[in-house]
Amino acid sequence: MLVIQVLLNGIVLGSLYACIAVGFSLVWGVLNVINLMHGSFIVLGSYLAWGAYNALGLAPWTALLIAAPAFFCLGYAIQRGILNRVIAAPVLVTLTLTFGLDLMLNNAMLIGFKADYRRLILDPSLGTVSVGSLVVPTDRIVATIFALLLTLVLYLVLRRSRIGRAIVAVRMDRDASRLMGVDVPSIYAITFGLGAAMAGCAGVLLAMIYPISPIAAGSFLGKAFVVCVLGGLGSVPGAVVGGLFLGVMESFGSLAFGPEHSVTLSFGLLILFLIVRPQGLLGKRGFE
Amino acid sequence: MLGLNLRSHRARILSLFACAVVMTFTGITTHAQEVIRFGAPLPLTGALAPEALKQQQGYDLWAEQVNKAGGIKVGNKKMKVEIVYTDYQSNTPRAVQAAEKLITQDKVDFLFSPFGSGAAKAASTVSEKYGVPTIAATASSAQVYDQGYKFLFGTFTPNDTLTTPLVDIVRQKAPGVKRVAILARNDLFPLALAQEMEKSAKQKGLEIVFFEKYAINTMDHSTALSLIKAQSPHWIFATGYINDLVLIKKQMGDQKIEAPVVTMIAGPAYQEFIDALGKSAENISSASWWDKAARYKGQDIFGSTENYNKLFREKYKSDPDYTHASSSVSGALFQMAIEKAGTLDRNKVRDELARMNVPTFWGPVKFGPTGQITSLEPPVFQIQNGKAMVLHPASIKQAEFKLSVK
């Protein structure tokens, strides 16, 4: 029974990891930009959910409707206004730029919200779902369902819509797609906007689960990195598989080696994958 | 011609600027003779920022009160105090650099330790090297003070003074409690505290059915908690900082883990902990080194615990907790030592600190041979109806111990 409970814990945790990582993976895969602001976007999304619930009484799943367009606009503006200027430069330049922007955003949040931990307490609480001695908290299930739904929507947008096909085309071959008439800068901005929107939505959902503080940004970013490497860059299903894999591995790692080693295990996996299978579980070799 | 004019104009501005800079610096030097400078390396940003801000509030309140009263009496004159802060961004190696910078570049006269046992221990090497009396306001682990250093003093009693009275109360009020599960953050203070708890519990005949550590920055405790649940303990004892403990309690609720006794250190002493958990914080017990319910009369600048609480509330519109109070009392202890020594001579001030035996709003203060305080009796408390109520010591007791944490 304990093993099944641990597996359940791992799957739920893994879905949250997937939700954290999918936007990050998209931006990295398509733009070749490692967006170090991703963790701060997530935290900002959590604050949005917290504010919407406490000031307007909006449940987090309703707050998604505000977060998605708001963060899309924010991401779009940052890409168009700032990142686009150095997009052709080597990856280190954009990395440094997003690092700087992240410092600014994170410190602005520290000033605005202070470093105190806040928590979004749903009243009445959602409770838990239990079958026999197995228990799963409902808020995690809700977050998981919405996270998977959002990911599915993103996947469908990429597969079915004109813009989505253009994004995939740019990811595969920027120059060829430009020759085909794709407006590359605008696709970049849309992709970055989508990445930011996914981060903001992830933040809204995670607000139900984790204490909110600007200093949590680093932990989210760290997980996003690991999931991307495990799942494969720029691939939406990859982020889901990578997230689930990491969640389950960490849960069983805690069971086998003790909870103190779960973080070690996730970074150990990162190194192992970088050596043995750098393209990740679902990534294709050769894409930058 | 115009170019020449511009150039000479620029040169004039430059020389004026240079004069201003020189004057400012000489200003500082003369200024420094009338002001006593205290260095405070703090993790003002990063993971430990919430705690650092509390320390800063405590120091600032003390400095404000001293300056309002005209300053510290050094011999025949009164000198104002200034606290020089340096942010080490929650990065311990940088705390050591920050302490060194404060001593060598900012020329502070005395030093407050950085936050927590780990950083305080690391930085104490620097203050010892330069012979700067240093008070650690937030370091409790005995390992910080066992290095034979002469210049380090601390206002927290050793960790076992927190766990022993807790075990005594539980043994007395709930004799049925036998099985103890301990979950500890793998960090100097939380781990040392958990080990003390293990020792105290074993001494009193309790059985430790689970003892595990979790890594710093752990984002999920569900598996550890599933393992704890499988052991059906009577007493769950978790250590960590406020974010860890809020998450652990939330996940305990998620897995419907209930126990007669749940103890968490160090978080429940903070109002933020109670606010963040709401009803699920009910009946969680804890211990800390001070509580605003204490009623001490002191010879320090604050005079009494009541007066300290009042001044704090006036300035910050909230109640003080033990981190605030410990920081304020650290300043007040320096003040008393300097006034007694009648000089800023570091060795003499150090000797006065070592000799000190005074009542303060924080409680009686006397440092043991290692520099760590030995005179305090830390309160044990429990969250009841959304408030931290003191259970022990008897002199400041506010409530009876209650069982069952849901």
> Does residue B133 sit in the same domain as residue B227?
no
**Spatial contact of B97 and B365, defined as CB atoms under 8 Å apart:** no
C-alpha distances out from residue A67 to A48, A77, A208, B34, B165, Å: 7, 15, 15, 55, 49
Q: Does a structural domain hold residue B221?
A: yes
ipTM above 0.90, yes or no: no
Cα–Cα distance measured from residue B278 to residue B287, given in angstroms and rounded to the nearest whole number: 19
Is B217 in the same domain as B109? no
In B, which residues are within 8 Å of A258 by CB distance? Answer: 212-213
Please check whether residue B88 lies inside any domain of the structure.
yes
Verify that B132 and B235 share a domain, yes or no.
Answer: no
- pLDDT band per the 50, 70, 90 thresholds, residue A12: confident
Residue B254 has its nearest CB partner, among A137, A210, A216, at: A137
Residues B232 and B324 grouped into a single domain: no
Helix %, strand %, coil % for chain B, to 5? 50, 20, 30
Q: Is A265 on the interface with B (CB under 8 A)?
A: no
Non-local CB neighbours of A105 within 8 Å, separated by 6+ positions: A37, A40, A41, A44
Window 235-254 of A: residues touching B by CB (8 A cutoff) are 250-252, 254
CATH 1.10.3470 fits A2-276, yes or no: yes
Which among A6, A117, A263 has CB closest to B215? Answer: A263
B245 and B299, same domain (yes or no): no
- What is the mean pLDDT of the segment spanning B254-271? 89
Q: What are phi and psi of A128, to 5 degrees?
A: -135, 160
Rounded to an integer, the average pLDDT of A239-246 is 90
Q: Using an 8 Å Cβ cutoff, are B362 and B352 in contact?
A: no
Do B34 and B118 belong together in one domain?
yes
Per-residue CA distances from B180 to A42, B241, B394 (Å) = 37, 20, 25
pTM value > 0.80: no
Q: What is the mean pLDDT of chain B?
A: 88
Is the domain of B218 the same as that of B270?
yes
Query: What local confidence, expressed as pLDDT, does residue B370 receive?
Result: 94
Q: How near does any CA of chain B get to the CA of A60, in Å?
A: 17
Nearest to B49 among A115, A119, A252 (CB): A115
Subunit contact B254:A140, Cβ cutoff 8 A = yes
Please indicate, yes or no, whether residues B343 and B387 belong to a single structural domain of this protein. no
Q: Spell out the residues 6+ positions from residue A264 whose beta carbon is closer than 8 angstroms to its own.
A: B215
Determine how β-strand B285-287 pairs with β-strand B380-384.
Answer: antiparallel
Between A and B, how many CB-CB pairs are < 8 A? 112
Q: How many domains does chain B have?
A: 2
- What string of H, E and C letters represents the secondary structure of A174-226? HHHHHHCCCCHHHHHHHHHHHHHHHHHHHHHHHCCCCCECHHHHHHHHHHHHH
**Residue B395: count of CB within 10 angstroms of its CB:** 11
Residue A42 pLDDT exceeds 90? yes
Question: Are B205 and B250 contained in the same domain?
Answer: yes
Q: How confident is the model at residue A130 (pLDDT cuts 50, 70, 90)?
A: confident
**Under an 8 A CB cutoff, do A261 and B246 touch?**
no
- Is the pLDDT confidence value at B7 over 60? no
Taking contacts as CB-CB distances below 8 angstroms, the residues of chain B near A263 are 215, 217-218
Whether B23 maps to a domain, the answer reads no
pLDDT band at B194 (very low <50, low <70, confident <90, very high): very high
Chain B closest CA to A263's CA: distance in Å?
7
Report the pLDDT value the prediction gives residue A267, as an integer from 0 to 100.
Answer: 84
Give yes or no: residues B34 and B128 share one domain: yes
Residue B1 lies in a domain: no
* Residue B250 resides in a domain: yes
Contacts of residue A37, Cβ cutoff 8 Å, sequence gap at least 6: A78, A98, A101, A102, A105
Mean pLDDT of B334-342: 95
Domain that holds residue B301: 30-157+293-366
CB contact under 8 A, B219 and A223: yes
pLDDT band with cut points at 50, 70 and 90 for residue B25: very low
Q: Is the pLDDT of residue B29 over 80?
A: no
Q: Which of B230, B243, B250 sits opposite A2 (nearest CB)?
A: B230
Residue A285 has pLDDT above 80, yes or no: no
CATH of the domain at B231: 3.40.50.2300
* Residues B387, B241 within the same domain: yes
Please report, for chain A, the start and end positions of each structural domain, with discontinuous segments joined by +.
2-276
Does the pLDDT of residue A198 top 50, yes or no?
A: yes
pLDDT in tens, A43-91: 999 999 999 999 998 988 899 999 999 999 999 999 999 998 888 788 8
Got the DSSP string for B291-356?
Answer: -TT---B-SSTT-BHHHHHHHHHHHHSS---HHHHHHHHHHHHHHHHHHHHTS--HHHHHHHHHH-
Place of tokens 């599933």: B226
B217 contacts on A by Cβ (under 8 Å): 218-219, 222, 263
Residues B307 and B356 both lie in one domain: yes
Lowest mean pLDDT among A64-73, A201-210, A262-271, B360-369: A262-271
